[in-house]
Structure formats: structure tokens, C-alpha cells
A and B are shown apart, each in its own frame.
Chain A
Amino acid sequence: MFEIIFVLSAPLLGGMLQGIERQLRARMQNRMGPPLLQPFYDMFKLIEKRPMIVDEAHTVFAIMHFLTLWAVVAMLVLGDNLLYVIFLHLLATIFLVIAGYSVKSVYSHLGANRELWVLAVYEPVLILFAVAFYLLEGSFSLQSIYSGQAHLFALLPLFAAMVLVALIKLGKSPFDAAHAHQEIIGGVEIEYGGVFYEFLYMAKWVEYIFIYTLFWLFAGSNLLLGIVLLAGVFVLLNLIDNATARIKISDLLKVGLIWGVGLAFINIVGLLYV
């Protein structure tokens, strides 16, 4: 019952999380920051604005992206197979890339290109993440991971790689080249306006829930460790975001492939042979 409520309210929870995050980042910079419900105020304002469609297919793909991501969270919480979840998440990202290519806008194409580049960095890590749990649990079953013991200490290098993936996926400095606002004006999201941008905005909230639920898997059935882990990761991500500047997309690929995939691979080799 609790799981179903969690899945249904995933966008709301993600919005709350973003509100807390904006407040936390403001406090880290020694300023007041927006109110906690600011993401929802933005949402109501966007709904109220005059709607603007650049291209029908472009708009539909944004809605598909949002709905698929929501389905990903539902499968991650209620479903049974970790590998399916990760491939369905890949599909959600592909919808976003197609949306980026479906309008005649240079920045949108550039954003879609970069989305594909970063996909090449984090997707191997996510698959190795599933493989690592397979090696420890003997199956991809999510329910056995949730009810099993905590694997954090067997998977420390993978955990570090997942922090890197979370930085890329949530668009945090230094790895936010795919959504760079000052550089390519948001990339894929540039041509959306009004209520249709709202779907991409909410998709970002669902993405938060997805990434933090993946971190929850490290703790298994250990509730206390899970809460400490999520709070720690939340503060760590925002600290890194505030303390660093953006790196170029080519450097992102180098760092991501060497450290992200490298650490995950070392972890897998360690699980197999040590």
C-alpha cells in the first residue's frame, strides 16, 4: 500500500525534493533562497501561461518522456526486475533525444547530441550496477534486493561511480554540459514554452526520485542505513554542485568513462575474483 502511494505521488515528492534542494543550495551560498514550495509555484505559473507549440511531435515526445519516467519509477518500486527498469529508463531518455531532433533548432540538436554523449557515459555504469546486484543476490529480482542485506561495503567503488552518474543525470556541476543553461540554453528543452515545458520540468522531478531510489538499493532492508545514505548523497551532490564549475563535454566523456565505468568495472572484477 505504501509503495503504491509512493509511486502515485512520485512527481509531488520530487517537487518537494527540488524545493528543499534549492533552499539547501541557497543556505550553502549564505543567502535566503526561494520558498520550499517554489517548484509548485513555477508549475502553476507555467500552466497559466499562453500555450505555445513549436511542433506537435516535439510536444508529444516530451509528454512521453515524462510518462515513461513515471513508469520507470513504478517498475523500480513495484516491479521485479532491475535490468528491465534500467532499459525502460534508457527508452525514456531516447524519447527526449528524439524530441530534441524533431525541431529545426540548432541548440535543440546540440542538446540532443550531448544527451547521447552523456548516455554513452552513464548507461554502462547503470548496467554494471544491475550486474553487480546479480552477482551478489543471484538474480535481478528487486524484491530480494529490498528484503536482502545491505551491500554498500561490497559495492563502494560502484557507489562512487553512481554518485558520478547522479551528477550527470540530475544536471549538476561539474557534469551539467548536457543541459548547460548559459552555454546551450538548456539544450533539448529550449523550444518548449508554457504548459508543455511543465512536462519536462516534472520529468526532472521524477528523475530525482528514480536516482535516489537507486541509491536506496545499496542499503537493502536496512532502513537506518538507507536514510543516512540518501541524506548523505543529497548533501554531497549539492555540495559538489555549489563548489565546482562546469567542465567541457569532451572532458565529461573522459572523466566519466575513466572514473565512472572504470570504478564500476573494478568493482565487478573484485566481486568475481576476490
Chain B
Amino acid sequence: MFKLKNFRKRSLWILHYNAGSCNGCDIEILACLGPTYDLERFGVLNRGNPKQSDMLLITGPVTYRSRERVVELFTQMPEPKVVVAVGSCTCTGGVFSGMYNVEDGVDKYIPVDVYIPGCAATPEYIIDGVLKGLELLEHKSKEIVKPKKLFKKLSFHKDHIDRRGIAGKVGENDGKD
């Protein structure tokens, strides 16, 4: 039967963001998209544009300076969306865990769907993780997903949600920080 929802898993556009990574995982992600591992055979493209992407691929332990950018990029992505944390640093902080300028993993700030371990995560793991995210995408609703921190109430403009207003308020102290 023809259902538009079935096409979510056929086409996936990725937004890749480096939240203070050492570039090890980023190189592996680019290797996945290149000719050797060829993620494009599943319809995966790296768009680099939050407004057109379905998946946020984050690498790095989320440094203090990059946390606002992570939350802002997350709020700019239209639903349904999944978040994939690539590498040990992004899952738990990894070797940087406990350092003064590092936030120990991205899941303090935004809800993460798939964790990919490894330092650096191998291309095989990344492909598995991305495809796992693809399966999850099918069960996602189109409700607004809120970040966990650095985020106040949803703001509205006329009848619809004002994403620019939301993005402008990211980073203000919300009392939970």
C-alpha cells in the first residue's frame, strides 16, 4: 500500500556537526559517504543544512562553547528527526570525561536515539548506527521535540511555531543549568 510514511527510510539527509571532536570520527563519517563504504546506496546524503535534514550526526564531547550551537541546530531541524551520537566522546565524554571545558556527552542537552561506540568509531559501526536510526525514523511522530537544556518555552507567531524566536533564546539561563 502507498503510504508517504514508508518513504522516510528510503531517503535520509544528514546534518553532520562537530562539537569539539578530534576529527577522527569526522574522517570516518566522510569515509562512509565516500566510494569505499558508499552510504549513498541507502539514499543517504550529507546536506549540511539543518532545515532539510532528517538526522543529526554529532561527533565530539560537546565543549562548553559548542553546546549552544548543538541545541540551536537541533531546534532548527524539522520533525521527524533522529540524533546519532558518533564515538565514545559523544556518548560519555570518553577520554575527556571530567575536564573543566567538556560537558561529558551530548545527551545532557538533546535526546539521543542511537549511540555509536568506538574511538574512532569504525565506518562499519557508523553504517550500522545510521541504518538503526533509519528504522527509528519510521516510528517517530511529527510532534515538536524539545532539547533538555538551554531552552525555554515554545514561542508562537500568529498560529505557528516561531523557530527563529526559539533559536534566539537558546543559551539564556533556564534555571536548570
Contact = CB atoms under 8 A, between A and B. Distances in A.
Contact of B43 (A42, A46, A185, A186): A42
Interface string A71-113: 0000000000000000000000000000000000000000000
B52 A38 contact: no
Given A52-B163, A185-B49, A190-B51, A31 B7 contact: no
B5 A48 contact: yes
Interface in B99-122: none
Interface string B144-177: 0000000000000000100110000000000000
Nearest to A44: B7
Contacts of B78: 49-52, 193-194
Contacts of B48: 181-182, 185
A171 to B, nearest CB: 14
Interface in A47-81: 47-54
A35 interface: yes
A34 B7 contact: no
Interface of B: 4-5, 7-8, 10-11, 13, 35-36, 38, 40-43, 47-49, 51-52, 54, 78-80, 142, 160, 163-164
Given A32-B38, A35-B43, A48 B51 contact: no
A33 B41 contact: yes
Given A191-B51, A192-B51, 14 more contacts: A29-B35, A32-B38, A38-B10, A41-B10, A42-B11, A45-B8, A48-B4, A52-B51, A181-B47, A182-B48, A185-B48, A193-B78, A194-B51, A197-B52
Contacts of B80: 49-50
A101 to B, nearest CB: 18
Contacts, number: 82
* Most chain A CB neighbours (cut-off 10 Å) among B11, B36, B163: B11
A180 to B, nearest CB: 11
Interface in A146-168: none
Contacts of B8: 45, 48
A48 B2 CA distance: 13
Contacts of B38: 26, 31-33
Given A49-B80, A52-B163, A26 B40 contact: yes
Contacts of B142: 49-50
B33 to A, nearest CB: 10
Given A44-B4, A193-B51, A38 B163 contact: no
Nearest to B50: A193
The 8 nearest A-B residue pairs measured at CB: A193-B51, A44-B7, A41-B10, A31-B38, A48-B4, A32-B41, A50-B78, A41-B11
